[in-house]
Structure 1
Amino acid sequence: MALDSSPVRGSRLLPQLVKFGAVGAVGFVVNLVVFNGLMLTVFSGVHHGTIFATVIATFIAIATNWVGNRYWAFAAQRQSNTTREGIEFFVVSLAGMGIPLFCVWLSHYVLGFTSLLADNIANNVIGLVLGTLFRFAFYRWWVFSPKRAARLAKVPTAHPAREAVTTLPTSLPGSPDRGLIGD
């Protein structure tokens, strides 16, 4: 795929990138608060607690980010099929979650940096930057793709049962009160 560097495309990309960054900042704060809250309480001293806290904090941040991205950052490109879009967002977010999770695992278990500070750097600095780049690319070009949204909007969906209900006659043939139904 060739990148189009036209001014029009850039003028649409920059505001979206800023909104995505703001939504991501909220998600970052949610992730940071939940991660540290879990590490200082529930998972304090628990073997593999860092991994569990990373997963839980990321799931909560994913839910927060989906709302912000769907209704603000990518509002103009959101799909009409909310369920499918939500599933796609969740799939990309899970794949993106693997990035900070890998960074925490590498730092904690391979490199031996086991302090809370080291875990935060691996999760919330290195993992966050790499995961953010990955997620923005896939949200922009797959989940909330303007071209894909336009293409899906043009495809008619056949729902015979729904069409039958919406195409009922306004009167029943041969009924004595013909013309009254649906008035």
Structure 2
Amino acid sequence: MAGHEEPSTTRRRPSAVRRRPRSTLRSLVEEHLGSTTKFLLVGGIVFLLDAAMYNLLVFWHPAHGWGEGLMHGSPLPAKVLTIAAASCLTYLGNRLWTFGDRPRPDTSRSILLFVLINVIASGLQLSCLGFSRYVLGLDSVLADNISGTLIGQAVSTSFRYVTYGRFVFPRR
């Protein structure tokens, strides 16, 4: 039927991007900003302890001072030790403070998931250090701290933040 137009309807086309109401967006930001800030503070303190412990093990010798430490030839086992110590402190800080407002899940399940996530995150961090040491051949204090501590920590912390809130300390 040429020239025949359908009457207009009051239906709107679905928008490709739906906007959240301002109050919902504000509450979302407030909710995540608090936990993110707490997570980063806990992580920052533990990061400093991890870096200090690693540098003492790898680059400080009790008899000779700074240079080659007791574990200079074994940087990955040294990093495993410091990550293990840091992980215990991270669990306590996040359980008691960052996610302290969430219900306490079954402790054995929570700890098992925490350990599993930390093993994966540790693998990410160790691969950064291992790549620098064994592929690039860099073994200085600066190279180890950039690859294993800064880059490795940034990668593993991002992974931890997403997975802790979702699996270890869930809302429900």
Question: What range is the shorter-chain TM-score in?
Answer: 0.7 to 0.9
Does 2:35 align with 1:16? yes
- Per-residue CA deviations over 1:29-75 (Å, capped at 9, x if unaligned) read 12012111111238826574111111000000000000000000011
Match of 1:92 in 2: 117
- Per-residue CA deviations over 1:67-97 (Å, capped at 9, x if unaligned) read 0000000111253312211121121111111
* Conservation of the 8 A alpha-carbon contact between 2:121 and 2:160: yes
Q: Which runs of 5 or more structure 1 residues have no equivalent in the other structure?
A: 151-183
Q: CA RMSD in A?
A: 2.0
| Structure 1 consecutive aligned stretches of length 4 or more whose deviation exceeds 3 Å | 45-48
- TM (norm. structure 2) is 0.77
- Which protein has the bigger helix share? 1
Match of 2:158 in 1: 133
State how 1:25-36 maps to structure 2 within 5 Å.
Answer: 25-36=44-55
Does 2:66 align with 1:41? no
Pick aligned residue for 1:50 from 61, 70, 75: 75
Q: Which runs of 5 or more structure 2 residues have no equivalent in the other structure?
A: 1-19, 63-67
Distance verdict in 2 for CA 1:85–1:17, change over 3 Å: same
Pick aligned residue for 1:122 from 135, 144, 147: 147
The percentage of aligned residue pairs carrying the same residue is: 29
CA distance in 1, matches of 2:169, 2:109: 11
CA distance in 2, matches of 1:26, 1:45: 25
Give the AA of the match of 2:91: W
